[in-house]
Amino acid sequence: MRFDLVTLFPEFFTSPLTTGLMGRAIARGIAEVHCTNPRDFTTDKHRKVDDEPYGGGVGMVMKPEPIVAALNSLPPCDRSETIYFSPQGQPMTQELFRELVRDRDRLILLCGHYEGVDERVMGWVDREISLGDFVLTCGEIPALALLNGTIRLLPGTVGKTASIAADSFEDGLLDYPHYTRPPVFEGLEVPPVLLSGNHQAIATWRRQQQLDRTRSRRPDLLARHDPSPTAPPPDAQP
């Protein structure tokens, strides 16, 4: 899957795209990421990408000409979508990540700055997406979150695909708690059921933990979900 980042600060992505799962996925050709800088498409000697807003007000607005020229320079792709990051956009969710991976071969991620982009740029945008109900200094931060959330879903990125199926939000519930060695740490013991070797009992315990955690921490999710309390999670063994 191809990702095109339209950003004034390509260096923002240097470390994240060369480390961890994302770095390995890119190195193996599972995903490819390209950066295009609107500043390279300016025509004035100062390479100006922003200007004062019409009508007055504080802050600066990104000019439409360099952005649209940068977007138009990208190679064509039939199953492509251009995304602009904005607090006014659709909330970023796990369901959205799955949709983008399933339905698109290329994502163009437009990263705004200052007070945002000239509204006329929206004619080249397919969808606005928000990381949450707050304001950030740049669109690179939500772009990186979307990159991470989608690349990890691409086949071959995560070694054990069952671990993805058991993640929070994959079945509408939060994840269950996880434990590893040692069995006792600072007087805190691992729940005995996890040491029992009884896979059905472990599956039941994990499902109940998902329900309890979701009920106490995100009751809004539970209101949209009606799972069976005894249904095993996706990674349960027979």
Task: Report the relative pairing of strands 184-185 and 32-36 from DSSP bridges.
Answer: unpaired
- Active-site residue, selected from the candidate residues 4, 50, 104, 152: 152
Is 103 a residue of the active site? Answer: no
Is 167 a residue of the active site? Answer: yes
Strands (E) in the chain, as ranges, are: 2-6, 32-36, 50-51, 61-62, 80-91, 106-110, 127-130, 184-185, 188-189
Measured CA to CA, the distance from residue 201 to residue 199 in angstroms comes to 5
Query: Three-class SS string for 29-49?
Result: CCCEEEEECHHHHCCCCCCCC
Measured CA to CA, the distance from residue 70 to residue 64 in angstroms comes to 10
- Active-site residue, selected from the candidate residues 64, 87, 227, 232: 87
Residue 112 and residue 59 in contact, taking contact as beta carbons nearer than 8 Å: no
Is 191 a residue of the active site? Answer: no
Is 152 a residue of the active site? Answer: yes
7 CA to centre of own chain: 17
- Active-site residue, selected from the candidate residues 65, 167, 170, 212: 167
- Active-site residue, selected from the candidate residues 115, 175, 212, 235: 115
Residues with active-site annotation? 87, 115, 152, 167
